[in-house]
Homo-oligomer: A and B are copies of this chain.
Amino acid sequence: MKLPLGYRYAATYAGIRKVNKEDLALIVSDTPASAAAVMTTNRVQAAPVKIARQHLRASRGRVSAILANAGNANCATRTGDEVAIACCKAVAKLLKVPVAQVIPASTGVIGVELDPSLIVNALPRLMEDLTESRFPDVSHAIMTTDLVPKVAFAEVPLKGGEVQIAGMTKGSGMIQPNMATTLGFVMTDAAISPIHLREMLVRASERSFNRLSVDGDTSTNDIVMLLANGASGIKPSERERRTLEESLYLVMEDLAEQIARDGEGATKLITIRVLGAVDEESATRIARSIANSPLVKTAIAGSDPNWGRILSAAGNAGVEFDPMKVDISLNGVPVCTGGLAAEFSEADLKQKLDERECMIRFEIKGGGKGETRFWTCDFTEGYIKINASYRS
């Protein structure tokens, strides 16, 4: 994989988490990059989310650095805003850029004061370590209960040459669309204005991160940032921006799927495909209702083809449809035809459901053209174990 030009990365252990594992990361663009962000819709917003919004506005969508930490969400604390600003200022001073060009991002526990000196003291170390090749280190540093780092890449050939997209994200609980939890950072070396970048990001998020649910909880800290620094020297035409957006979407879809696969306690990736709804939004509502049903997710965990729960969950989506026109299949095996039980071999299907991936296909026959894809994971005792003692 090739990385986009003109970005450098570093990560270190600053002592924010209890365990000695990288918890502070810096992404620097050598020249101020165009930037766009989508952020949590939670009414409770962490300080870094608020400051990120202010900085993006003040800098008119120009970003030189992203400073991210794990282990503390810097949310619901006395000093949240001050801490976020102080850290951004320290980065700005070292990089000699305006403070509004530094974006903070945090993930971790809510309601615990974050000591800014931990971060400020670690910054010189980070600065020294900045190199193009430390992209993976940053993807490790933002992990919380994630088991694996999550990265995705695309090379996009355009008339003037090739541009690169590289993305990283973290999961893996408190994940539900609008936004999925997560910190997500996507870099490209194409030259794109902040306005166009924002349009691309909003549309690509809608079909990727916003079609993802692990547990139906939307975090206070969600932010996905897209940077475009133009270091490739290539400025896509209007048509080429569409090509680039498609690649961006594939990168973000890949990241979203990786979050679902690594959901807390998950043993299976569940992909939900809904077809035949009135429109895409109705299809997505049905898919989300299925994805958020603990009864569906526990059945899949147990390799139980309990399609009645899928039909019932769809019925709770607040979308009109005729249950007698619904076909459901699991990993390609029809389990419900016209709203009624289909004939299938329980033993064979159980074996298929023991695999690491489950595809739920829900089609309304003779319905509209609305369709969607949505990602979630099964719901296991592991999720309970992880979350019954997250703080301790």
Contacts and interface: CB of A to CB of B under 8 A. Distances in A.
Given A42-B312, A220-B312, A311-B76, A215 B388 contact: no
A218 B289 CA distance: 11
30 contacts: A42-B312, A43-B314, A43-B320, A43-B321, A44-B314, A45-B315, A75-B308, A76-B311, A77-B341, A78-B340, A110-B308, A110-B309, A111-B307, A111-B336, A176-B316, A215-B295, A216-B216, A216-B293, A217-B294, A217-B312, A217-B316, A218-B312, A220-B315, A294-B383, A298-B383, A298-B387, A299-B388, A301-B388, A304-B388, A381-B381
Those 5 A-B pairs whose CB atoms lie nearest each other, nearest first: A110-B308, A302-B388, A44-B315, A298-B387, A43-B315
Contact of A302 (B109, B298, B387): B387
A208 interface: no
A389 interface: yes
A219 B391 CA distance: 34
Nearest to A221: B312
A77 B384 CA distance: 34
A116 interface: no
A306 B315 CA distance: 33
**Which bracket fits the contact residues of A?**
35 or more
Contacts of A141: none
Nearest to A176: B316
Given A43-B317, A340-B77, A341-B76, A311 B387 contact: no
Contact of A387 (B174, B299, B340): B299
A201 interface: no
A194 interface: no
A173 interface: yes
A313 interface: yes
A195 to B, nearest CB: 29
Given A110-B311, A301-B384, A174 B43 contact: no
A380 interface: yes
A389 to B, nearest CB: 5
Interface in A299-345: 299, 301-302, 304, 306-309, 311-317, 319-321, 323, 336, 339-341
A73 interface: yes
Contacts of A336: 76, 111
A381 to B, nearest CB: 4
Given A391-B306, A392-B304, A44 B381 contact: no
A339 to B, nearest CB: 6
Contact of A313 (B217, B304, B321, B391): B217
A106 to B, nearest CB: 13
A308 B216 CA distance: 16
Contacts of A312: 42, 44, 75, 110, 174, 217-220
B390 A379 contact: no
A107 interface: no
B298 A76 contact: no
Contacts of A130: none
Given A111-B307, A381-B384, A215 B302 contact: no
